[in-house]
Amino acid sequence: MTKGLGPLLRLAGFGLASLGWAAAAQAAEVNEAAMRALESDGTEWLSYDRTWAQQRFSPLQQIDTESVDKLGLTWSIDLDNNRGLEATPLYHEGVLYTSLSWSRVMAVDAGTGQILWSYDPQVDKAKGRDACCDAVNRGVALWQGKVYVGTLDGRLIALDAKTGQPVWTQQTTDNSQPYTITGAPRVLKDMVMIGNGGAEFGVRGYFSAYDAATGELRWRFYTVPRDPAQPQEHPELNAALETWSKDTDWSMGGGGTAWDSMAYDPDLDLLYVGTGNGSPWNREVRSPGGGDNLYLSSILALKPETGRLVWHYQVTPGDSWDFTATQQLTLAELEIDGEARQVIMQAPKNGFFYVLDRATGELLSAEKFGKVTWAERIDMATGRPVEAADARYQKETLVMWPSPLGAHNWHSMSFSPLTKLVYIPYQEIPGTYTNEAGSFVRKRAFNTAAGSSEIKELPREYTAGALLAWDPVKQQAAWRVERPNHWNGGTLVTAGNLVFQGTSAGQLEAYSADKGQLLWQFDAQTGVIAAPMTYLHNGEQYVALMAGWGGSGALIGGDAAVATGVRNVSRMLVFKLGANQQLPTLAAVPGSGRTPEPVVAAATDLTAGETLYSQYCAVCHGVGVVGGGVLPDLRHSSDAVREAWDAIVLHGAYQANGMASFGDSLSSEEAKQIRLYIMQREYDSWINSAKQ
Residues 530 and 196: their CA atoms lie apart, in Å, by: 19
DSSP SS3 for 340: strand
In contact, 572 and 108? CB cutoff 8 Å: yes
How far is the CA of 181 from the CAs of 8, 87, 127, 136, 408, in angstroms? 24, 13, 11, 9, 20
Q: Which residue among the candidates 130, 153, 322, 605 is catalytic per the annotation? A: 322
Residues 332 and 596: their CA atoms lie apart, in Å, by: 58
CA 122 to chain centre: 21
Residues 190 and 32: their CA atoms lie apart, in Å, by: 9
Residues 312 and 308: their CA atoms lie apart, in Å, by: 11
Taken in order 221, 277, 250, 292, the sign of the CA dihedral is positive
How many other CB atoms are found less than 10 A from the CB of residue 539?
6
Short-list 681, 553, 687, CA closest to 606: 681
Residues 500 and 517: their CA atoms lie apart, in Å, by: 12
Residue 585 DSSP one-character state = P
DSSP SS3 for 108: strand
In contact, 555 and 619? CB cutoff 8 Å: yes
E-only strand ranges, 190-318: 191-194, 206-211, 217-222, 254-255, 262-265, 270-274, 278-279, 298-303, 308-314
Residues 85 and 566: their CA atoms lie apart, in Å, by: 14
Computed on alpha carbons and rounded to an integer, the radius of gyration of the chain in Å comes to 24
Catalytic residue status for 134: no
Burial of 591 (0-12, 13-18, 19+ CB in 10 A): exposed
686: Cα within 13 Å, side-chain hemisphere: 17
Q: Which residues are catalytic?
A: 322
